[in-house]
């Protein structure tokens, strides 16, 4: 268990919880614009809870949340600020900083994907973040095309790449195998991530219930890769839902103890990286740290 690496939790919900400026459409990017000290506070809370990887607050630094004009004007500046705040919080110790490369054109929306626009958006984020991050985390990726665009944007810069897929978890859609939100199989997604040179494959922003089967597939396909999970605490998301369009209620039953129970199953299934996504806060991360330290 000493080899389990602990990630942070969901930044947007934590910012909202501590009273940071927070609204749609800006989502977690609003704190960068109006209250960066709240971003520092959130990072510090996750580190104090035991996270040894924190993720830059750049998830919403995209036109989907900022709008095209503001992204063009301030996207590079805000990405750099997100990186700087995370690096300052991490300090010079053993805490690593992951540079968040989100789905460029909207979470849970593989149907909106455009390769050229996605690469261009990721390149802006990468330029701002690069001086501050230890590796890239292409997260909440709904399709193979999305990870290819993210990988292209940072190709050749020498930093390791982690890929994290969001999984189909619509209870009304019974897919025959573990699948991405695009409908592509987890098996094909893992193969694609491996071929792109990813050093770790994770699954995030999906129900805890769908993670273990995906891990089993990933371990079979690519046993040489590190695997990880950071689930969310949302109710089941319908296929037509788009993440971050509104503030979903959280599942009350996903307590610290319950989440640690899920994480033990993920580790038994091959995960060596665990953390949390939307709705998973410092208390949950502290539970993970105690369980796996």
Q: What is the DSSP string of 108-135?
A: T-GGG--HHHHHHHHHHHHHHHTTT-SE
- Per the structure, the count of domains in the chain is 1
The answer, yes or no, to whether residue 265 has pLDDT greater than 60, is: yes
**Of all residues in the chain, what percent carry a pLDDT higher than 90?**
90
Convert the pLDDT of each residue in 53-107 to its tens digit.
Answer: 999 999 999 999 999 999 999 999 999 999 999 999 999 889 999 999 999 999 9
Q: 209 lies in which domain range? A: 5-292
**Tokens linked to 14:** 């934590």
Find the range with the poorest average confidence among 10-19, 112-121, 169-178, 199-208. Answer: 169-178
pLDDT score recorded for residue 237: 60
Peptide bond preceding 25 in cis form (omega within 30 of 0): yes
**Residue 106: C-alpha distances to residues 161, 168, 243, 289 (Å):** 21, 16, 8, 31
Confidence of residue 174 (pLDDT cuts 50, 70, 90): confident
Nearest to 46 by CA among 239, 283, 292: 283
Convert the pLDDT of each residue in 106-161 to its tens digit.
Answer: 999 999 999 999 999 999 999 999 999 999 999 999 999 999 999 999 999 999 99
Convert the pLDDT of each residue in 135-148 to its tens digit.
Answer: 999 999 999 999 99
pLDDT score recorded for residue 1: 41
Q: What is the pTM of this model?
A: 0.95
**Tokens linked to 130:** 């690069």
Q: Name the strands in the sheet holding 96-101, side by side, starting at the edge strand that comes first in the sequence.
A: 5-6, 273-276, 226-231, 200-204, 161-165, 135-141, 96-101, 53-55
In angstroms, the CA 59 to CA 17 distance is 18
The answer, yes or no, to whether residue 243 has pLDDT greater than 80, is: no
Q: What is the mean pLDDT of residues 203-211?
A: 97
Q: What is the mean pLDDT of residues 24-36?
A: 97
pLDDT score recorded for residue 235: 80
Confidence of residue 241 (pLDDT cuts 50, 70, 90): low
Q: What is the mean pLDDT of residues 247-256?
A: 87
Q: Are 14 and 27 in contact (CB under 8 A)?
A: no
CB atoms within 10 A of CB 255: 14
pLDDT score recorded for residue 234: 82
pLDDT score recorded for residue 30: 98
Q: Is 258 buried (19+), middle (13-18) or exposed (0-12) by CB count in 10 A?
A: middle
**Residue 231: C-alpha distances to residues 4, 29, 30, 228, 275 (Å):** 16, 21, 24, 10, 8
Specify the CATH number for the domain of residue 16: 3.20.20.330
């Amino acid at each position: 268990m000493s080899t389990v690496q602990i990630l942070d939790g969901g930044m947007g919900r934590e910012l909202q919880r501590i009273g940071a400026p927070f609204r749609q459409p800006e989502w977690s990017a609003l704190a960068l614009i109006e209250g960066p000290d709240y971003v520092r506070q959130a990072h510090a809370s996750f580190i104090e809870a035991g996270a040894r990887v924190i993720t830059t607050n750049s998830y919403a630094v995209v036109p989907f949340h900022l709008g095209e004009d503001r992204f063009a004007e301030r996207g590079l500046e805000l990405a750099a600020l997100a990186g700087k705040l995370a690096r300052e919080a991490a300090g010079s110790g053993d805490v690593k900083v992951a540079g968040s490369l989100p789905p460029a054109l909207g979470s849970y929306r593989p149907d909106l994907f455009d390769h050229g626009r996605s690469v261009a958006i990721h390149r802006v984020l990468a330029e701002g973040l690069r001086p501050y991050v230890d590796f890239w985390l292409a997260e909440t990726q709904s399709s193979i095309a999305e990870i290819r665009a993210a990988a292209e944007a940072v190709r050749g810069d020498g930093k390791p790449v982690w890929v994290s897929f969001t999984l189909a978890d619509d209870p009304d859609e019974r897919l025959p195998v573990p699948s991405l939100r695009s409908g592509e199989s987890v098996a094909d997604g893992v193969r694609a991530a491996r071929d792109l040179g990813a050093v770790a494959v994770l699954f995030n922003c999906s129900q805890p219930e769908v993670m273990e089967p995906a891990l089993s597939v990933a371990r079979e396909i690519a046993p040489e890769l590190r695997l990880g999970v950071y689930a969310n605490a949302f109710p089941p998301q319908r296929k037509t839902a788009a993440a971050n369009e509104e503030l979903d209620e959280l599942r009350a039953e996903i307590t610290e103890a319950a989440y640690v129970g899920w994480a033990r199953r993920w580790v038994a299934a091959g995960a060596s990286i665990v953390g949390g996504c939307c709705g998973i806060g410092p208390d949950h991360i502290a539970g993970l740290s105690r369980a796996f330290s």
